[in-house]
Amino acid sequence: MAEMTETPAATSSEIEGGEAALLRVIETQRTLIADLSATVESLRGEKEEVARLLTEQIGKLRSQVEWLTRQLFGRKSEKTDPNQMWFDTLTIQAVEGNAPAAPAPAVVAEVAAHTRKAAPHGRGELPETLERVVEVIDVPEAEKTLPDGTARPLIGCEDAERVAYEPSKIYVKVTRRLKYGSPAGAEENGVVAAPVPDALVPRCLADESLLAHLAVSKYADHLPLNRMESVLKRSGVTLTRQTMCGWLTECGLALRPLVAAVKGELLAGGLVHHDDTPVDMQDYNSGKPRGQRMREARLWAATAPPREGPWTVFDFTASRAAEGPRDFLADRRCRVVCDAYGSARSGMASLPPGRNDLTVPPRRCRPTPSLRTMTHAASASASPDADSEACPQ
């Protein structure tokens, strides 16, 4: 009887434990199913994103292949910039979204008859100012007569012009001053000699013609003195660059009155463009090692517009301080156009007011569109700079 009463109790507890375990298994399976569903959705989204990226990459590669094919095998006129292809879609959308405007009515205009001058092509005409050296080429004497002995008459000629060049000639210019003495018995009258002619650089070995050639070659043709040394050496003249540099320095000192006269004409005009450019200057007192003794100096250019005259003056300063333009423009009586650099602004502000002054504008100044600065006035070009404008006081 005892066994029959304990068996049902044990069976009921086992059933309850099995149900609890089954519920746990079911809950675990539900969690696993939810995780798998989320994983599937994530993979599906990644698959769509990868497919979209691959489609875009394939489209770009196809466009590049088409462009390369046109570049290799297409006409020159069909070659396009590859960056234009990225705007094809935007162009199509803009064209489709905007209907074309109605065509304007045709206007018939009568044009008077005229003769249009053809544009020159090929070889140009040589200037008439060039010297013509005629070289006559005659036919052989045997061909000047006919078989019966009759002389052929001269009926004309055929001219063909070509540009020739005669190398520059270096020669020694001898200045011979004559001297006259006194006859016998009149020695007390002494000797009379011709005066020494004036020279641009006294006691200089170079004539003014050679000095002018060196100055034009260096400052107009940008030919350094070391190359001029080689050019002169080919002609049999040995001149060191140190010697030529000293000559040019003496020329600059001798031409100061001419520079002052040109500066006066420049500043007396109505408008002056003023700007600076950096140049390298040797500085032997800087304490730097050999090969690094350089510093940045400034070359200030002041030029007049073409209508004011062919006036351009250069001024050298060791720095970009305001004293440079202030001292150069101290005697001005004209408008000055310059950029908005700080030293130029302070230098112009410290000048006394002149006639119709024109200075650099402060940042709050309203610019005058008709008066703009000229960038790099050293080139003497009239190209305006839209970022730097001038404003009258």
Q: Which two tokens stand for residue 190?
A: 């002494």
Give the pLDDT confidence score for residue 360 in this predicted structure. 46
Contact 333, 351 (CB under 8 A): no
Helix axis angle, 208-215 relative to 241-254, nearest 10°?
100
What tokens were used for 114?
């005229």
Question: CA torsion angle for 179, 184, 189, 192 (degrees, to 10)?
Answer: 0
pLDDT in tens, 242-296: 999 999 999 999 999 999 999 999 988 888 998 999 998 888 777 777 777 888 9
In the prediction, which pLDDT does 293 show? Answer: 82
Per residue in 92-101, is it b (16+ CB within 10 Å) or e — as a string? eeeeeeeeee
| 158 SS3 class | coil
pTM: 0.54
Domain boundaries, the chain: 204-254, 259-392
Could you say which DSSP state residue 329 is in? T
CA–CA dist 286, 170 (Å, integer) = 41
Token representation of residue 315? 């001024």
pLDDT score for 173: 93
The residue behind tokens 């599937």 is 40
Q: Which residues make Cβ contacts (< 8 Å) with residue 117, sequence separation at least 6?
A: none
pLDDT of residue 251: 93
* 158: amino acid identity, one letter: E
How many other β-carbons are positioned within 10 Å of the β-carbon of residue 391? Answer: 15
Strands 271-282 and 335-337: parallel
Encode the chain (393 residues) as per-residue pLDDT tens digits. Answer: 444 444 455 577 777 777 888 888 888 888 888 888 888 888 888 888 888 889 888 988 888 888 888 878 776 555 555 566 556 666 666 666 666 666 667 667 777 776 766 666 667 788 889 999 999 999 999 899 998 989 999 999 999 899 999 888 899 999 999 999 988 888 888 899 999 999 999 889 999 999 999 999 998 899 999 999 999 999 889 999 999 999 999 999 999 999 999 999 998 888 899 899 999 888 877 777 777 788 899 999 999 998 888 899 999 999 888 888 888 888 777 788 888 776 555 555 555 555 445 444 444 333 333 333 333 333 333 333 333 333 333
55: its two tokens = 């489609």
Token duo for residue 270:
């109505």
Spatial CA neighbour of 389 closest among 329, 332, 345:
345
The answer to whether the CB of 189 falls within 8 A of the CB of 182 is yes
pLDDT number for residue 189: 86
- Cα–Cα distance for residue pair 360/387, rounded to 1 Å: 12
Q: What pLDDT is stored for residue 76 in this prediction?
A: 59
Query: What phi-psi label fits residue 361: left (phi over 0), alpha (psi between -120 and 50 degrees) or beta?
Result: beta
- Residue 31 has a pLDDT of 87
